Structure 1
Amino acid sequence: MASQEEKPPVETNRVDDATEKVPGLHGKEDLDDAQRATQAEHETTLKQALRENYMAIIWSAIVSLTIVMEGYDLNLMQNFFGYPSFTAKFGTYDPGSDSNQLTGAWQAGLVQGTNAGVIIGGFMNGWFSSRYGYRRTLMAALVCQTGFIFISFFAVSIEMLLVGQMLCGLTWGVYATTGPAYASEVCPLALRGYLTVYVNLCWAMGQFISSGIIQGLVSNETQWGWRIPIAVQWVWPVPIVIAIIFAPESPWWLVRKDRFDEALHVLCRLTTRSEEHCRASLSQIQHTTRLEDEMNHGVSYLDCFKGVNLRRTEICIMVFVGAQLSGSNFAYSPSYFLLQAGLGVQDAYNFGLGGTALAFVGTMLSWILLTYFGRRAIFLAGMLGDAIVLFVVAISSAAAPNAQDSLWVQVSFMMLWQAIYSLSVGPIGYAIVSETSAVQLRPQTVVLARNSYNVVYIICGILNPYMINPTEWNLQGKTAFVWASTASLMVVWIFFRLPETKDRTYEELDVLFSHKIPARGFKKAKVDAYGETVD
């Protein structure tokens, strides 16, 4: 009898062999279903997708509403630095400005302490979401935040306020990384870009509400002038957590856990299409899972830096980091800068409110750009526009640092910066990160990208107050030279490294990355995700 080593190799059919690697995927028929589902995704129009997937839109929108809370508070804290009732409570008298001021150290401490909490919360979310799913992790965070807000609201010292902000930051780290990941996994291809960008709209919504409340209370010099804006945060957690109790889990997460019947049930809940169509979609998810199983051999943070995932992780990190390097810490919430530049308190906060309104409108208008242009083109044009505007602000400040006309030029161009950012870099980044990350590693990749953003935000947040603060470096508008330079460096990176992900299914993106297609070749490449070939 021949030994096992001497047996001739058994010929296998590639399709049948592939399906054996995925539990629940039974032979060529299911693989054909997956291929039909991919073709249907490419052929589905926006109007049809809106009509057939309104439940997916509703659930994605509800989950993304948690981002409103993060945008609200982070904008609130930055605007508090020049807020009369807040500085009266937590600041110290500065003879130079004849007013109470928070020192540069405490300005940096409050913002960056919060972001330290966001970073820790983000890393925790990557593990919890992968193990327990998006729903349960999100509900736990919402319940915790309801309690943490009490600490900030009843703060009697700046140290107590810092503790409250850091604990709330843990929950915001969960929201910031769950929203885009969940939206990208419950929505079809035709809606994916719009609903991941909606995450940024929720951020802008939170900032707009925050700016409106503090603008309305800026003349209130009692303790309620700063306590009421903090108390408003209790409005969101309870109704959102009640809604999420009834929300479906991501079908992609369920497939990763081999819970195929539940995944099919969820797919049927998310669309009005037939059960046959949902079964085909399930086969498509399983096929993509099989592709990624062959490329990846784990779902840890370390796996994000192995093989083809290293490139995908680099792109996701740089896109989110680019939002900071574009100058957002300086220009996105300019109330403190405008106050130090000589604008009155009411005018400064009026401009702050106007800027957040621009962000809200700009994000909605970015949906129009998404329809006609690719993610790469929008992101590149936006970063280039922001760099040019910042150079204009810096040159204007350097040419006439104390002139009133120069101040209004700076104000006008900072508003233009906000408009450009809100049309491009801010919202489009969410779509790029959600689409570029591998499905199996999405929670971890989004967390790494978002936390890289937070680390850079901490660095920028420490430097920016020192550059502007009259008791520190006092660079005023010349601070824009720094951020114009970093934005210019990002333009170079985008041109050479950022691929186009528009109109690509996740399995097609897997194939493109596995074949190491250059960034500028993604748009024109022809992909057969089932033959796993690229032309």
Structure 2
Amino acid sequence: MEKPEAINVESVCEEGGTLHKIGSDEMWTRTALNAVARDYDQEEKTMPVMQAIRHYKKAIFWSLVISMCVIMEGFDTNLLGNFYAYPSFQRRYGDPVPVTPQTPTGYSIPASWQSGLGQGSGVGSIFGTLINGWLVAAFGPKKVVFSTLCVMSCFLFIVFFAPNKEVLLVGEILLGFEWGIFATTAPAYASEVLPLQLRVYFTSWTNMCFIIGQFISGGVLRGLVSRQDQWGYRIPFAIQWFWPSFLIPLIWFAPESPYHLVRKGKLGDAERALRRLQSASMDSKRSLAQIVFTDNLEKKLSVGTSYRDCFRGVERRRTEIAMVVFGGQLVCGLCFAYASTYFFQQVGLDTEAAYSLGVGANGLALFACFANWFLLMPYFGRRTVYIVGMAAMTIELCLIGILNVWTDKPAVAWTQAILTLVWTFTFQLSAGQLGWALPAEIGSTRLRQKTVCLARNVSNILGVICGTLENYFMNPTAWNLKGYTGFIWGGCAFIVFVWAYFRLPETKGRTFDELDTLFAKRVPARKFASTDVDVFDEEENDHLAVQYTPK
């Protein structure tokens, strides 16, 4: 390997320079750097999954820890959506209404307040997500997550002691700020500390954490549904203090993202972080060389680091894909499914049956996530799974709408409920997992955090809009559409299906530098899987730099 003997230079990894610093004490020529990066690229692409697991056990552990923060978001969002049919919550925060099969307690949360409370955390998440793009770029994901956990522990007191709907709404907005930070930091961190073979599993693990949170909250609600006093709804709020109690000390010891440290020019720290993420048999300098090469390639292609750069040149296409993939989760029926307990009650099922089905739906969603990991991801591309899943959900939602014509028959109501569970299974097999994984893969490394933040904010904004509409669709004192809501979300799912067929590229088996080159070449989405690229061709890269540079 070609190395200069004794060279003393101050600047490292500068565009156009001939030397690159690797670690804290070595200088390699550009040729040597590219050769090491090329070898590491090939090794990463051919490494078996089990070998990757052995070499990256520590990275897997820290990725799981960071992502576990999202369990709290899944717990909280599922909590509020299903509190509307919860007897003790209805009596505390609801308005008096006539006793009917849909309102057996004589109290109901008005549709306007369902929208306000349900979307309060979404509104807070919009601002938290937006600011997180700057916070992580400045301080790194580890420090941001640690500080956010500490602040969130304080805000939990507001929702726990809320005396009325107004204070509860304020607490949900403030907590939403933290949810936005957790949900966008976790998948980006996972994509930066894990190799190609494990990337899709642990970026989508964020979604599984979301499901685990929903599953836990569903079980807690089912266990307390018969409790009539204030602790029926306060205990679920209090359980959220459990997570910070062990996550805060754990994250204090987590390694920083090596990509963040390279972007900050802290290559010695990046090498030390890699040693903490990989097994002792791995050469951290080779891993670092590949990260430096990718960062240099993106500098050559004029990839910036600001939110504005996400919408310039070819980056605009990458941002569009991340946004639509993440936003597609909401418009294909997610708000409908999140309020499944309320839907079950509105089509005539009793409260205990509705909450039992709600727990079943969360368990089925978790099972679907593992089925996605072991039965789909190893054998099928991301594009194929997403497109087929979106088509299947379109059909399932429309069937729910068609059956609503006979909803007065108990057997039909149960059939609609079962189709809702089938939709949940299909969603988590496809868009539920990939909606989190693809945005973390699609963005360039220099813009990854901001790309994920923008995509998540599209999801947040659509969540507020769709969640508000869903409350009016389902509320018996508002539009009372019941199962006919399936036609609306089925139509939206069909639109996303058409978009995905023409615009969603295949990212399976592609390293980050290969994705940079494919986007720079403006390869059509349907040809991503079949196009060969040589990311180490300097002449081609120089040519692409001219083409790629935003005008």
- Give the TM-score, by structure 2 length: 0.92
Q: Which among 246, 253, 260 is matched to residue 253 of structure 1?
A: 260
**Matched residue, 2:84:** 81
Instruction: Measure, in 1, the Cα distance between the counterparts of 2:177 and 2:402.
Output: 40
2:434 equivalent to 1:428: yes
Q: Which among 201, 209, 216 is matched to residue 208 of structure 2?
A: 201
Instruction: Measure, in 2, the Cα distance between the counterparts of 1:96 and 1:335.
Output: 19
Aligned residues of 2:81 and 2:338 also touching (Cα < 8 A): no
Instruction: Measure, in 2, the Cα distance between the counterparts of 1:199 and 1:107.
Output: 27
Give runs of ≥4 in structure 1 deviating > 6 Å.
Answer: none
Instruction: Measure, in 2, the Cα distance between the counterparts of 1:350 and 1:180.
Output: 31
Instruction: Measure, in 1, the Cα distance between the counterparts of 2:475 and 2:227.
Output: 24
| 1:36-63 residue CA offsets vs partner (Å, 9 max, x unmatched) | 1101101100010011110000000000
**Matched residue, 2:471:** 465
Q: Which among 36, 42, 47 is matched to residue 39 of structure 1?
A: 42
Gap change, CA 1:214 and 1:16, over 3 Å in 2: closer
Instruction: Measure, in 2, the Cα distance between the counterparts of 1:199 and 1:93.
Output: 40
Structure 1: gaps spanning 5 or more residues: 1-14
| 1:407-440 residue CA offsets vs partner (Å, 9 max, x unmatched) | 0110111110001111111012222111101110
Q: Which among 502, 509, 513 is matched to residue 507 of structure 1?
A: 513
**Matched residue, 2:343:** 337
Instruction: Measure, in 2, the Cα distance between the counterparts of 1:370 and 1:490.
Output: 21
Instruction: Measure, in 1, the Cα distance between the counterparts of 2:287 and 2:82.
Output: 46
Aligned with 1:220: secondary structure?
Answer: coil
Cα displacement (A) at 1:293: 1.0
| 1:154-192 residue CA offsets vs partner (Å, 9 max, x unmatched) | 011111111111111111111010010000000011111
Structure 2: gaps spanning 5 or more residues: 1-12, 23-27, 542-551
**1:300-311 alignment runs, 5 A limit:** 300-311=306-317
**Matched residue, 2:421:** 415
**Matched residue, 1:49:** 52
Instruction: Measure, in 2, the Cα distance between the counterparts of 1:395 and 1:381.
Output: 22
Aligned with 2:107: secondary structure?
Answer: strand
Instruction: Measure, in 2, the Cα distance between the counterparts of 1:294 and 1:126.
Output: 22
Q: How large is the Cα RMSD of the aligned pairs?
A: 1.6
Q: Which among 274, 297, 300 is matched to residue 294 of structure 1?
A: 300
Aligned residues of 1:332 and 1:355 also touching (Cα < 8 A): no
Q: Which among 149, 156, 160 is matched to residue 149 of structure 1?
A: 156
Cα displacement (A) at 1:21: 8.3
Instruction: Measure, in 1, the Cα distance between the counterparts of 2:498 and 2:16.
Output: 40
Q: Which among 184, 189, 203 is matched to residue 182 of structure 1?
A: 189
**1:349-364 alignment runs, 5 A limit:** 349-364=355-370
2:98 equivalent to 1:95: yes
The one-letter code sitting in structure 2 at the alignment partner of 1:445 is T
The one-letter code sitting in structure 2 at the alignment partner of 1:514 is A
**Matched residue, 1:9:** none
| 1:507-528 residue CA offsets vs partner (Å, 9 max, x unmatched) | 0000000000000000001111
| 1:218-242 residue CA offsets vs partner (Å, 9 max, x unmatched) | 0001000000000000000121111
**Matched residue, 1:27:** 30
**Matched residue, 1:396:** 403
Aligned residues of 1:19 and 1:26 also touching (Cα < 8 A): no
Cα displacement (A) at 1:360: 0.9
- Give the TM-score, by structure 1 length: 0.95
**Matched residue, 1:264:** 271
Cα displacement (A) at 1:273: 4.8
The one-letter code sitting in structure 2 at the alignment partner of 1:71 is G
Instruction: Measure, in 1, the Cα distance between the counterparts of 2:36 and 2:520.
Output: 23
Cα displacement (A) at 1:401: 3.0
**Matched residue, 1:64:** 67
Gap change, CA 1:281 and 1:100, over 3 Å in 2: same
Cα displacement (A) at 1:22: 5.9
- The percentage of counterpart residues that share the same residue type is 42
Aligned residues of 1:113 and 1:166 also touching (Cα < 8 A): yes
Instruction: Measure, in 2, the Cα distance between the counterparts of 1:23 and 1:309.
Output: 28
The one-letter code sitting in structure 2 at the alignment partner of 1:247 is A
Aligned with 1:230: secondary structure?
Answer: helix
Aligned residues of 1:22 and 1:287 also touching (Cα < 8 A): no
The alignment covers a number of residue pairs equal to 518
2:237 equivalent to 1:239: no
**Matched residue, 1:365:** 371
